[in-house]
Chain A
Amino acid sequence: MTTARVETRGSQQAQRGPAWLGETLGYLRRNPSMIVGGLLLLTLVLFTGLGRLIVDTNAASPLSAPPAQPPGPDVPLGSDPQGRDILSVMILGTWLTVRTGLVAGALGVAVGSAIGLYAGYVGGRRDKAITWVVDVLLTVPAILLLVMIAAVVQTELTSLGMALIIAALAWRRPARQVRSQMLVIRNAGYIEMARLSGLGPLRIIFGEIVPNLLPFLISSFVTAVSAAILAGVGLEAMGLGPQNEPTLGMTIFWIMELSAFLRGMWWWIVPPLAILVVLFVGLYLVNAGLDELANPRLRRRA
């Protein structure tokens, strides 16, 4: 391997390009699901990103178009019974929903990992206490927390606010999982070495352990985003979400509330479902594609 690198650096560098590009391309070739997943997510990003530049997202508000129109020249995806232009709703809604997922997922994994890493590393009574607290918090049903918070916080709920509430529930699982991972790694040889050489706990955790856990953390993040989006859509569909924002979950709420199925409004039902499917499938495939990163020994099985 070293030899190849020297050769690359020397004579063939001009043709092959940097080494990391070669490795990345190789990885992708072995894990096509990463490509497919990435493409799906990229399509959505382009849809919502470019969409917001091209299409007027103000049309995602009610009374922007004649109500309950099937797709036509003025309204490419039709309109809903309250006059929202569905194309605009999809563009804006995708962005809002994905943002909720990203914020909640990132916060949840960050906070959860920090707690899990700490608990797993220190062990003993502190670890037991933290585990106990996490287990207790895992028993609180999400609906209960959401309705109670809504009852106390009198200002209107925005999608960012909802992301924070979901994050408050989302950190529990990563905490448990990261702690388990930490328990396994803690006793590994190189950690023992690091400890013996006098490195402080923070340096060990962030210098040695986290880089090794990185693939797991990334995978955990992707899962958390997926779960957060699912939770968000579920709560919004029950009517507990940000009612003035045209998120995908709120679209589903209105579909059920205004009897879209009975009225045969297929143009309104299909787009949000299709986007959700693409989103979840994309996230799953990316996660599957990260397998090898998490476990390099799998490469042999190709």
Chain B
Amino acid sequence: MLVLIGRRIVMVVAVVWAAATLNFFIPRIAPKNPIAEKLTQLAGTSGVDPTKIQEMSQAFGARFGLDQPLLTQYLRYIGDMARFDFGQSITKYPARVSDLIGEALPWTLGLMITTTLLAFLIGTLLGAAAGWYRNSKLLSVVSPIIMVFSAIPFYLLGLVLIYIFASRLGWFPVSGGYGLTSVPEWSWDFAVEVLQHATLPALSILIASVGTWAIGMRGMMVTVQGEDYMTFAEAKGLKPSRLFYRYGMRNALLPQVTALALYFGQIVTGAVLVEIVFAYPGLGSLLLDSIKLFDFPTIYGIVFILTLTVALSMLLVDLLYPLLDPRARVGR
């Protein structure tokens, strides 16, 4: 058993290292200097002499090691990632990348992960029921409605919700994490305020993604129903609810959970537009900004964390699978 875990961990490390290497070189495909990009952007609002961009870029190059050969930069990068030392951002110097990520992470965790888990739970239950009770009248009405909403991208649903509930009806705040003039503190009032501001973004993500999970689960459920062990269990005369939970759901759940683990890698990029529409300061918009400006350290930091998250969740699933499904216990 330990050998199995050990091998899996080695695989994870191998994947993470390879991913880190790949993601080091991808932003370098285009011969870009992040300082030049930043100065170009800044020239619109400040006294950057329009003709001195090259000089200033070179001046900063030395500070960030951009003038070193690529291989040297790569080796330093691998060493830094291993120590979780993401260094300082180039285009937001002297801000540290870990600080930038640290500021954005709570919002992403709070909003995206909470809503994803909620959507997963609701969607999976709904999908399982839809797959099992295929003749139910209630489900044949509810399912299409959910499907229609899940066909609309999150951010558009968000715009519609803002327009109806915030602009027109004024029930919810328009955007942001908390009120313009409020100072975050540990108080009941502030907590309520945060929840108020999170409602619309959460709702739009929830409504739009419940459907996806439901559809996946329903598919799995349908497949499971056709399996021999189901027929056997039914023939044994087991109660329908027991059939549903212990035989149906439990087996259909496994691929669904694998999908969830893989989904976490996509959450951040999927959330970019939601964050922009709702002015929500999460990792998605930080990643987009960094990519646009070729801010290598920040890109590397965020992507590394994403890679780790995906790899670790896949590891977790791989380790849990044998516990849940005896068929997978026999070594391949």
Give A264's nearest chain B residue, CB to CB.
B163
Q: A281-B147, A284-B147 known; A143 and B272 CB under 8 Å?
A: yes
Give chain A interface residues in 210-262, CB to chain B under 8 Å.
Answer: 230, 233-234, 237-238, 252, 256, 261
Q: Are A132 and B163 in contact (CB under 8 A)?
A: no
B82 at the binding interface (Cβ < 8 Å) = no
CB distance from A65 to the nearest CB of B (A): 24
B11 / chain A contacts, CB cutoff of 8 Å: 132
A147 / chain B contacts, CB cutoff of 8 Å: 291-292
Q: Are B272 and A238 in contact (CB under 8 A)?
A: yes
- Stretch in contact with the other chain, from B55-63, B148-156, B191-199: B148-156
Give B17's nearest chain A residue, CB to CB.
A136
A152 / chain B contacts, CB cutoff of 8 Å: 29-30
Q: A132-B18, A148-B30, A298-B225 known; A143 and B310 CB under 8 Å?
A: no
Q: Are B15 and A132 in contact (CB under 8 A)?
A: yes
A279 / chain B contacts, CB cutoff of 8 Å: 151
Q: Are B223 and A139 in contact (CB under 8 A)?
A: no
With A and B bound together, what is the CA distance between A281 and B152 in angstroms? 10
B219 / chain A contacts, CB cutoff of 8 Å: 287-288, 291
Q: Are A132 and B310 in contact (CB under 8 A)?
A: no
B159 / chain A contacts, CB cutoff of 8 Å: 256, 261
With A and B bound together, what is the CA distance between A297 and B224 in angstroms? 10
Give B134's nearest chain A residue, CB to CB.
A301
B27 at the binding interface (Cβ < 8 Å) = yes
Give B21's nearest chain A residue, CB to CB.
A136
Q: A144-B291, A148-B29 known; A291 and B15 CB under 8 Å?
A: no
Q: A141-B287, A144-B27, A144-B299 known; A237 and B153 CB under 8 Å?
A: yes
| Count of CB-CB pairs between chains A and B under 8 Å | 121
CB distance from A212 to the nearest CB of B (A): 14
Give chain A interface residues in 253-301, CB to chain B under 8 Å.
Answer: 256, 261, 273, 276-277, 279-281, 284, 287-288, 291, 294-298, 301
Give chain A interface residues in 160-217, CB to chain B under 8 Å.
Answer: 183
Give chain B interface residues in 270-317, CB to chain A under 8 Å.
Answer: 270, 272-273, 277, 287-288, 291-292, 299, 303, 306-307, 310-311, 314
**A interface size (C-beta, 8 A):** 43
B299 / chain A contacts, CB cutoff of 8 Å: 144
Q: Are B153 and A291 in contact (CB under 8 A)?
A: no
Q: Are A142 and B151 in contact (CB under 8 A)?
A: no
Interface 1/0 per residue, B27-51 and A, CB below 8 Å:
1011010000000000000000000
Q: Are B307 and A280 in contact (CB under 8 A)?
A: no
B273 touches which of A237, A276, A277, A301 (Cβ 8 Å)? A237
Q: Are B153 and A143 in contact (CB under 8 A)?
A: no
Q: Are A139 and B307 in contact (CB under 8 A)?
A: yes
Q: Are B151 and A136 in contact (CB under 8 A)?
A: no
Q: Are A136 and B303 in contact (CB under 8 A)?
A: no
A54 / chain B contacts, CB cutoff of 8 Å: none
B307 / chain A contacts, CB cutoff of 8 Å: 139
Q: A136-B15, A147-B291, A291-B219 known; A273 and B156 CB under 8 Å?
A: yes
With A and B bound together, what is the CA distance between A144 and B25 in angstroms? 11
Q: Are B273 and A139 in contact (CB under 8 A)?
A: no
CB distance from A49 to the nearest CB of B (A): 22
With A and B bound together, what is the CA distance between A237 and B18 in angstroms? 31
With A and B bound together, what is the CA distance between A276 and B310 in angstroms? 30
With A and B bound together, what is the CA distance between A273 and B219 in angstroms? 26
B18 / chain A contacts, CB cutoff of 8 Å: 132-133, 136
Q: Are B226 and A140 in contact (CB under 8 A)?
A: no
With A and B bound together, what is the CA distance between A26 and B151 in angstroms? 29
With A and B bound together, what is the CA distance between A261 and B157 in angstroms? 12
Q: Are A273 and B22 in contact (CB under 8 A)?
A: no
A138 at the binding interface (Cβ < 8 Å) = yes
B251 at the binding interface (Cβ < 8 Å) = no
Q: A230-B153, A277-B148, A279-B151 known; A139 and B222 CB under 8 Å?
A: no
With A and B bound together, what is the CA distance between A237 and B159 in angstroms? 13
A151 at the binding interface (Cβ < 8 Å) = yes
Q: Count chain B CB atoms within 10 A of each CB in A132, A149, A183, A280 and give the residue with the most.
A: A280
- Stretch in contact with the other chain, from B70-78, B88-96, B261-269: B261-269
Q: Are B26 and A145 in contact (CB under 8 A)?
A: yes
With A and B bound together, what is the CA distance between A145 and B27 in angstroms? 8
Interface 1/0 per residue, B140-174 and A, CB below 8 Å:
00001001101111011001001100000000000
B119 / chain A contacts, CB cutoff of 8 Å: none
Q: Are B269 and A132 in contact (CB under 8 A)?
A: no
| 7 pairs, A vs B, C-beta closer than 8 Å | A132-B15, A144-B291, A148-B29, A280-B151, A291-B223, A295-B226, A301-B134
Apart from A142-B269, A281-B151, A288-B219: 9 A-B pairs, beta carbons within 8 A: A132-B14, A141-B303, A141-B306, A143-B288, A144-B26, A151-B30, A261-B162, A294-B223, A295-B222
Name the 9 nearest CB pairs between A and B, nearest first: A280-B151, A151-B30, A297-B226, A295-B226, A139-B19, A136-B18, A139-B307, A277-B151, A141-B269
